Amino acid sequence: MNWTLRLATESDIPALEELIPLSVRALQAPHYSPAQMEAALGPVFGIDRQLIADGTYFVVEQQGQLIGCGGWSKRKSLFGSDASHDHDDSQLDPKHDSARIRAFFVHPLWARRGIGSTILVACETAILSASFQSAELVATLAGEPLYASFNYIVVERYEIQLPNGLSLPGVRMTKSLKDVKS
């Protein structure tokens, strides 16, 4: 393992804007059509600057290149970028609400090498430190096996509506973090 995990900063945004489409077009291709992926890039798959501002978004770097990203949130939106219409930045209550796991993207050349897992462990640790008891997310079909391998449970399968009238199958998943050591 010759890469490093760190918190994202505003200066990572140009590299993130390159990484996200690369990840989506390669790693989601077995599950979604090109039309679905292109419609989702932007509103659904994109950068949420609020997570960077909150210090809850991580990047993985290798020799100066970003090869993975992902984070968590103490805010209501379950998915989506700055560009999504129904964005809700209101704060969650750790006593009653589940923290969100958000926007994981790994460079296709670095898939299945544990980068997604490393970011997810960092997120769960930070979520516990923020006093949340559980985590919730909406996974893509490409992301579902990662979260399932961390014992996230499927709550609902549904269609995420896209701007061009298409839709994208998504999976709502949840996990109690009470037994996870921070």
Ligand X SMILES: CC(C)(COP(=O)(O)OP(=O)(O)OC[C@H]1O[C@@H](n2cnc3c(N)ncnc32)[C@H](O)[C@@H]1OP(=O)(O)O)[C@@H](O)C(=O)NCCC(=O)NCCS
Helix extents (H) in 59-171: 115-129, 144-149
Q: 25 exposed, middle or buried (CB, 10 Å; 0-12, 13-18, 19+)?
A: middle
By CB under 6 A, residue 44 contacts ligand X: no
Whole-Å CA distances, 81 to 5, 23, 49, 151 = 22, 16, 8, 26
Q: Is 24 in the site for ligand X (CB under 6 A)?
A: yes
- Closest residue (Cβ) to ligand X? 116
Q: Is 131 in the site for ligand X (CB under 6 A)?
A: no
Task: Please choose, from the candidates 81, 72, 179, 87, the residue with its C-alpha nearest in 3D space to the C-alpha of residue 135.
Answer: 72
Q: Which x/- pattern over 82-121 shows residues binding ligand X (rule: CB under 6 A)?
A: ----------------------xxx----xxxxxxx----
Q: Which residue, 69 or 126, is less far from ligand X as judged by CB?
A: 69
Q: Does 72 bind ligand X (CB under 6 A)?
A: no
| Chain contacts with ligand X (rule: CB under 6 A) | 23-24, 27-28, 104-106, 111-117, 139-140, 142-143, 145-146, 149
